[in-house]
Homo-oligomer: A and B are copies of this chain.
Amino acid sequence: MKLAELLGTELPLVQSPMAGVQGSRLAIAVCGAGGLGSLPCAMLSPERIAEEIRAIRAATDRPFNLNFFCHATPRFDAARDARWRESLAAVHAEFGIDPASLGTGAGRNPFDATAAEIVESLRPRVVSFHFGLPEPALLARVKAAGAIVMGSATTVDEARWLESRGADVIIAQGLEAGGHRGHFLSDDLTEQLGLFALLPQVVAAVKRPVIAAGGIADAACVRAALALGASGVQAGTAFLRTPEADTGPLHRAALAGDEARHTALSNLFTGRPARGIVNRFLREHGPMSELVPEFPLATAASAPLRAAAERRGSGDFSALWSGQNASGARPVPAAEIIRALAAGLPG
């Protein structure tokens, strides 16, 4: 079956779920333009997820994708947390942040029984997972609810693992991709592959359709991904400057500037490596740091810093998520981004 048929969309184009910078508005716009809109659920309460789904359904009867994280919730390590906060003491002081005021962070919720209930009651056509898959009993509930399951692979081994555990579609996430790396079998970043090397090797290793992600900026990239065996593509960065995204003004400006040419994987914001534009925070404390608490506990110390710097008009401590090719991120409606990508699909 063709990927678009499987997803129930007109086009084999998926909008990457991007927690924190988009909600139902972007998903609705993408669905309306013939792509698969995605709602990132990792930072939303169950009530918010239900509201957002209602908003999508009020606007379109087309299929959409709910995205969840599948990390194990870490145990709080007070000593590690203290070391990390200590290393930030000078910048906390610079921005007038009282270390005693730091909370426990926004967090990211892994897919759990409550999330499974949402899927069962609201029945999205597609459910995608980052950082692996939920435990088998929970995954079985998602599949029993009729959802097409997509999982992110950053290596050939991960692609095989996802397929063997029931993923219907494999997303090959090249090293170029913005935001969190989806790796889950190993945290050795040297195992992560550029899309040009990852995609054909994943296509050769699995039978399921493969979606190419990472660096997809325009029609030429879509053609190249299809040439390498992809059944469709997923783009994220390309949507970050659309009016339907919730990207903040400092983030939008960075995406539009020369600084977007230099991104790096950094664990400073959440505890897991994620690609964003290099700013002062990454230069002075990373981009990777061994002091950082486990995902997602790192947000406790970094989020207030980000907020304080942004109040002063600075993106120096913001998570400026971006892939390695921001040239497709234009300040135009999401439907126009979809049209630009769709020009790379075979007539």
Known: A194-B176, A227-B223, A324-B194. A155 touches B200 (CB 8 A): no
A207-230 vs B, CB cutoff 8 Å, 1 = contact: the mask equals 000000011111011011101110
In the complex, 12 of the A-B residue pairs with CB atoms within 8 angstroms, ordered by the A residue number, are: A157-B261, A174-B194, A176-B193, A176-B194, A190-B263, A193-B324, A194-B214, A195-B195, A198-B324, A200-B217, A220-B228, A224-B227
B residues in contact with A200, CB < 8 Å: 217-218, 220-221, 325, 327
Least CB distance from A235 to B in Å reads 12
Give the chain B neighbours of A221 by CB distance below 8 A.
Answer: 196, 200, 228
Q: Which residues of B contact A157 (CB under 8 A)?
A: 261
The 10 closest A-B pairs by CB, nearest first: A194-B194, A197-B324, A190-B264, A197-B215, A223-B227, A224-B224, A197-B325, A224-B227, A196-B215, A195-B196
Does B262 contact A201, Cβ atoms closer than 8 Å?
no
A327 to B204, CA, bound (A): 10
A157-B261, A197-B217, A227-B227 are known; give 7 further A-B pairs, CB within 8 A.
A190-B278, A191-B262, A194-B194, A194-B196, A194-B324, A196-B196, A224-B227
Q: In whole angstroms, what is the CA distance A200 to B176 when docked?
A: 13
A323 at the A/B interface (Cβ < 8 Å)? Answer: yes
Q: Do residues A156 and B215 form an inter-chain contact, with CB atoms below 8 A?
A: no
Chain B nearest Cβ from A182, distance in angstroms: 15
A236 interfacial by beta-carbon distance below 8 Å: no
Q: How distant is A9 from chain B, measured CB to nearest CB, in Å?
A: 23
Closest to A203 in B: B220
Is the CB of A175 closer than 8 A to any CB of chain B? yes
**How far does the Cβ of A189 sit from chain B's closest Cβ, in whole Å?**
9
How many copies of this chain are found per oligomer?
A: 2
Residue of B190, B196, B197, B220 near A265 (CB, 8 A) is B190
Chain B, residue nearest A189 (CB)? B264
A residues in contact (CB < 8 Å) with B: 155-157, 174-176, 190-191, 193-198, 200-201, 204, 214-218, 220-221, 223-225, 227-229, 261-265, 278, 287, 323-325, 327
A14 to chain B, nearest CB (A): 17
Q: Which residues of B contact A324 (CB under 8 A)?
A: 193-194, 197-198
Cβ–Cβ < 8 Å partners of A263 in chain B: 190
Task: Give complex CA distance A148, B217 in Å.
Answer: 32
* Most B CB within 10 A of own CB, among A175, A197, A227, A261: A197
**Set of chain B residues within 8 Å of A325, measured between Cβ atoms:** 193, 196-197, 200-201
* With contact pairs A190-B287, A193-B324 given, residues A224 and B217 touching in the complex (Cβ less than 8 Å): no
CA A67 – CA B221 in complex, angstroms? 31
CB-defined contacts of A217 to chain B, threshold 8 Å = 197, 200
Distance in Å from the Cβ of A252 to the closest Cβ of chain B?
20
Q: When the two chains form their complex, are residues B201 and A327 in contact, meaning their CB atoms are under 8 A apart? A: yes
Nearest B residue (CB) for A200: B220
A260 nearest CB across to chain B (Å): 10
Inter-chain contacts of A174 with B (CB < 8 A): 194, 196
Please name all residues of chain B whose beta carbon is closer than 8 Å to the beta carbon of A223 when the two chains form the complex.
224, 227
In whole angstroms, what is the CA distance A228 to B265 when docked?
A: 24
Q: What is the bound-complex CA distance between A261 and B198, given in angstroms?
A: 10
Note all chain B residues with C-beta closer than 8 A to A195: 194-196
